[in-house]
Structure 1
Amino acid sequence: MAAKKASESFSKALIEEVQRWGGMKQTGVSLRYMMDFGSKPTAKNLLISSQFLHKELPIRIARRAIELENLPYGLSEKPAVLKVRDWYLDSFRDLRSFPEIKDSNDELSFTQMIKMIKVRHNNVVPAMAMGIQQLKKDLGPKVEPGELDEIHQFLDRFYMSRIGIRMLIGQHVALHDPDPQPGCVGHIHCKMSPMKVAESASEDARSICLREYGSAPDIITFGDPNFTFPYVPSHLHLMVFELVKNSLRAVQERFMNLDKYPPPIRIIVADGIEDVTIKISDEGGGIRRSGLPKIFTYLYSTAKNPLDEHTNIEGTTDGATMAGYGYGLPISRLYARYFGGDLQIISMEGYGTDAYLHLSRLGDSQEPLP
């Protein structure tokens, strides 16, 4: 089946409307705002929240749909990318055809609809990864990651925007939970212990390492388990999980055939005035300095790829593999930056790697809106 331009499968009026909405200004919110606003999920607040999303989501989605249509190197024509673009256009159409939200009944049906939109977009990351893979195959080995800067910058914007859209929808939907977790406002935990989240994420990563290699290095965590600050535990879990998984793999592969016990991975949690910093240190042999710029690109992974041509992107799960599409680091860095933090990797070739995950403690930085 030949790939269709959006103009063939969607009405001209819809495409024009996407163009119009894509030109409107996005409105960012901060972690603190989401927390304060969501701490009183009254019917009135839920109504205000849904009216905001009714206007904000189509703007954000339209911008991505326009970008998906105009990617360089023929990436827009790849079947997997066309599928993603269609999901965005369908979601835009659903949002725009939803009438004005006037009362709680409207608000509830709007909430059901955006819940469905979130599910529709579940497999965007593997689908895009597949499109990139198809592109790499076409371009052959002659292409240098540096040449694909434009695509890399697009993916940074695209995934950052996706984190924001999913956070806004997830947050709104979670405020309807009749039995919210104590201390939580939607997805935000007002008194999250970074140490406890780091321990649980590293245990998850370790069990995957055990499953894959039959053994795993120890992990030692330093810090105050009673220290808490407001953050989104699922975001932190994802970032620490990715970083620890990389460390485990490096140490495991370096020491596997030696008869000595692998050195432990150390996690240190420190609370500063501005930032909470989590340092993950391993003795896995480090990364060559020439390889460092590549670790944050989407076009490079040292692991064998779990996506082959026959993967059905409709059916992929969020199942965690030990090494994935090489997206763990760049996407973790976007999660860190989404709430004003950052991720830095410092390596010592021949010894090991330190990852510094900075999380903003203040929670008042606006979402970075690509």
Structure 2
Amino acid sequence: MAAKKASETFSKSMIEDMHKWGCLKQTGVSLRYMMEFGSKPNERNLLISAQFLHKELPIRIARRAIELENLPYGLSHKPAVLKVRDWYLDSFRDLRTFPDIKNMNDEKTFTDMIKAIKVRHNNVVPTMALGVQQLKKGMDPKIVYEDLDEIHQFLDRFYMSRIGIRMLIGQHVELHNPHPAPHCVGYIDTKMSPVEVARNASEDARSICCREYGSAPDVHIYGDPDFTFPYVPAHLHLMVFELVKNSLRAVQERCVDSDKVTPPVRIIVADGLEDVTIKVSDEGGGIARSGLPKIFTYLYSTARNPLDEDADVGVSDNVTMAGYGYGLPICRLYARYFGGDLQIISMEGYALRVGNLLSLLSILHMVGF
């Protein structure tokens, strides 16, 4: 079945409207502003927030939908990418056909709609990864993937924008929670313990590893459990989960035929004067020097490709240990979203992953402390 262009599925007026909104300037929202504004989730603030999102979300979604139509190397025509494109177009149409928000009844209906939009886009990352793998299967194997700058730059923009969109929607929706967790302002925990988040993320990663291999290395965490700072726990959980999952896989596969005791994965949480650094280290053999330039590209993975098993299957809800090649680049984007970074230092024969997850000075400045 031939892939349909957006103009064949959606009305001409909607496509024109999308291009008009895609040219408008989006408005940045800082962590500090979200914390201050969300600290008083009264009806007036919820109404203002909904009215802002009613105008802001179409701009951000339109930009991504336009880009999805014009990707190089035929990526726009891959079935998985077309599916993602249609999700963005459906969401743009839902937002643009929603009437002006004038009262709390309108606000409640709007909140339910953007909550549904967030759910609609839950599988965007793995589906886009599937599209990239579909592209990769048809490529000349001699192509140097890190040289495909247009695709990498697009995916960085696309995924970073998605983080922002989901943060805005999630923050607004969570402000309706009648029983928020202690110290939480929407998605933001003003007293988040990185040690506690690392512990939860590690247990989740070990569960996936046990499901895949039948066992999992231990994870040892070092740091002050009473140390806290303002951050989004879901973001930190995702980053630590991906890093630990990579380490567990490397250790497990290296020691599968060994009689020696499986070495643990180690996590160190360091609260310095300027940075909060989380270091994840393992003895999984490291990455060869020739592979290091590729680890932050979206067309590279050291793991077996899930598509090799069945290239036509849809995206499953199950989490796999590895294979699509987007874990590390996505983690780095989450780290950079609030001013941090992710670095990989590899000693072939050992391994060391360092997640400098955020600049504390930058965060403190944003939250106004």
Which range, TM-score by smaller chain?
Answer: over 0.9
> Could you tell me which residue of structure 1 aligns to residue 348 of structure 2?
349
Contact 1:30 1:363 in 2 (8 A): no
Structure 2 CA distance, aligned partners of 1:70 and 1:81?
A: 11
Displacement of 1:213 after TM fit? 2.1
Where 2:150 maps in the other structure, the secondary structure is helix
Deviates more, 1:206-215 or 1:294-303: 206-215
Where 1:342 maps in the other structure, the secondary structure is coil
Superposed counterparts of 1:127-206, under 5 Å? 127-206=127-206
> Could you tell me which residue of structure 2 aligns to residue 241 of structure 1?
241
Contact 1:285 1:353 in 2 (8 A): no
Displacement of 1:155 after TM fit? 0.7
Contact 2:146 2:293 in 1 (8 A): no
Contact 2:187 2:232 in 1 (8 A): yes
Structure 2 CA distance, aligned partners of 1:138 and 1:356?
A: 34
> Could you tell me which residue of structure 2 aligns to residue 261 of structure 1?
261
Displacement of 1:364 after TM fit? 6.2
> Could you tell me which residue of structure 1 aligns to residue 113 of structure 2?
113
Uncovered stretches (5+) of structure 2, i.e. residues with no partner: none
> Could you tell me which residue of structure 2 aligns to residue 56 of structure 1?
56
Contact 1:284 1:353 in 2 (8 A): no
AA matched with 1:353: L
AA matched with 2:222: F
Superposed counterparts of 1:28-47, under 5 Å? 28-47=28-47
Deviates more, 1:115-124 or 1:355-364: 355-364
AA matched with 2:117: I
Contact 2:38 2:186 in 1 (8 A): yes
> Could you tell me which residue of structure 2 aligns to residue 310 of structure 1?
312
AA matched with 2:259: D
Structure 2 CA distance, aligned partners of 1:215 and 1:116?
A: 37
Contact 1:340 1:365 in 2 (8 A): no
Contact 1:339 1:365 in 2 (8 A): no
Superposed counterparts of 1:217-232, under 5 Å? 217-232=217-232
User: What do the CA deviations read for 1:22-54 (whole angstroms, capped 9, x no partner)?
Assistant: 111111111121111111100000011111111
Displacement of 1:175 after TM fit? 0.6
Structure 2 CA distance, aligned partners of 1:357 and 1:99?
A: 44
Structure 2 CA distance, aligned partners of 1:180 and 1:146?
A: 44
> Could you tell me which residue of structure 2 aligns to residue 323 of structure 1?
322
Displacement of 1:365 after TM fit? 7.3
- Where has structure 1 moved over 6 Å in runs of 4 or more? none
AA matched with 1:128: M
Displacement of 1:4 after TM fit? 1.4
Structure 2 CA distance, aligned partners of 1:39 and 1:273?
A: 27
AA matched with 2:107: E
Structure 2 CA distance, aligned partners of 1:303 and 1:124?
A: 21
Superposition CA RMSD, Å? 1.5
* TM-score normalised per structure 2: 0.94
User: What do the CA deviations read for 1:133-156 (whole angstroms, capped 9, x no partner)?
Assistant: 221122242322033221111111
Structure 2 CA distance, aligned partners of 1:323 and 1:131?
A: 16
> Could you tell me which residue of structure 2 aligns to residue 333 of structure 1?
332
Structure 2 CA distance, aligned partners of 1:41 and 1:324?
A: 42
Structure 1 CA distance, aligned partners of 2:80 and 2:254?
A: 36
AA matched with 1:355: V
Uncovered stretches (5+) of structure 1, i.e. residues with no partner: none
Deviates more, 1:319-328 or 1:45-54: 319-328
Contact 2:243 2:353 in 1 (8 A): no
* TM-score normalised per structure 1: 0.94
Displacement of 1:65 after TM fit? 0.6
AA matched with 1:65: A
